[in-house]
Chains A and B, each alone.
Chain A
Amino acid sequence: MQNKKIISIVLGIMCFLLTLGIFVQIRTVNSTNTTVSQNYEENNLRADVLKYKERYENKYKDLEKAEAELEKERQDSTQNNTELEQKENEIKQGNKIIGLAEVTGPGVIITLSDSKRDASTALDISSLLVHDKDVLSVVNELKNAGAEAISVNDQRIVPTSSILCGGNIVNINGEKVGSPFVIKAIGLPEQLAGLERPGGYLYWLEEATIEVDVKKSNNITIPKYTGVISYEYAKSVE
Chain B
Amino acid sequence: MVFIAILIGCILGALLGMNAPMISYTYSSYLAIAVIAALDSVFGGINSVINKKFDLKIFITGFFGNAILSILLTYLGQKLNVDIYLAAIVVFVGRMFTNLAIIRRYYVEKWSNKLEKLKEKKEQKTVEENK
CA distance A29 to B39 in the complex (A): 19
Total interface residues in chain B, CB < 8 Å: 31
Which residues of the other chain, A, contact B2 by a CB distance below 8 angstroms? 4, 7-8, 11
A21 at the interface (CB under 8 A from B): yes
> How many residues from A make CB contacts under 8 Å with B?
27
CB-contacts of B30-86 with A (<8 A): 31-32, 34-35, 38-39, 42, 56, 59-60, 63
Q: Which residues from chain B sit less than 8 Å from chain A, CB to CB? A: 1-2, 4-6, 8-10, 12-14, 16-18, 20, 22-25, 28, 31-32, 34-35, 38-39, 42, 56, 59-60, 63
Indicate whether A28 reaches chain B with its CB closer than 8 angstroms: yes
Q: Distance in Å from the Cβ of A30 to the closest Cβ of chain B?
A: 9
Cβ of B14: which chain A residues have Cβ within 8 Å of it?
19-20, 23
Contact B5 A21 (CB under 8 A): no
A234 interface residue (CB < 8 Å to B)? no
B9 to A14, Cβ gap below 8 A?
A: yes
The minimal Cβ–Cβ distance linking B71 to chain A, given in whole angstroms, is: 11
Cβ-based interface call for A22 (8 A): yes
**Docked CA distance A138–B34 (Å):** 55
Q: Which of B5, B17, B39, B56 makes the CB contact (< 8 A) with A20? A: B17
**Across the interface, which residues of A come within 8 angstroms of B20, CB to CB?**
20, 23-24
The interface of chain A, by Cβ under 8 A from chain B, is 4-25, 27-29, 31-32
Q: Are the CB atoms of A13 and B9 closer together than 8 Å? A: yes
CA of A110 to CA of B12, assembled, Å? 65
Q: Which residues of A contact B34 (CB under 8 A)?
A: 21
Q: Which residue of A lies closest to B18 (CB)?
A: A23
Tell me the minimal C-beta distance from A224 to chain B in angstroms.
47
Is the Cβ of B13 less than 8 Å from the Cβ of A16? yes
The answer to whether A11 touches B5 (Cβ under 8 A) is: yes
Report the nearest B residue to A31, measured CB to CB: B22
Docked CA distance A25–B67 (Å): 14
B28 and A28 within 8 A (CB): yes
Judging by beta carbons under 8 Å apart, are A19 and B38 in contact? no
* Chain B positions within 8 Å of A16 at CB level: 9-10, 12-13, 16
Chain B nearest Cβ from A235, distance in angstroms: 54
Nearest B residue (CB) for A3: B56
| Chain B, Cβ-Cβ closest to A30 | B22
- In the bound assembly, the distance between CA atoms of A27 and B34 in angstroms comes to 16
| Complex Cα gap A130–B81 (Å) | 34
Tell me, rounded to whole Å, the shortest Cβ–Cβ distance linking A117 to chain B.
30
Interface centre among B9, B35, B60 (most CB of A within 10 A): B9
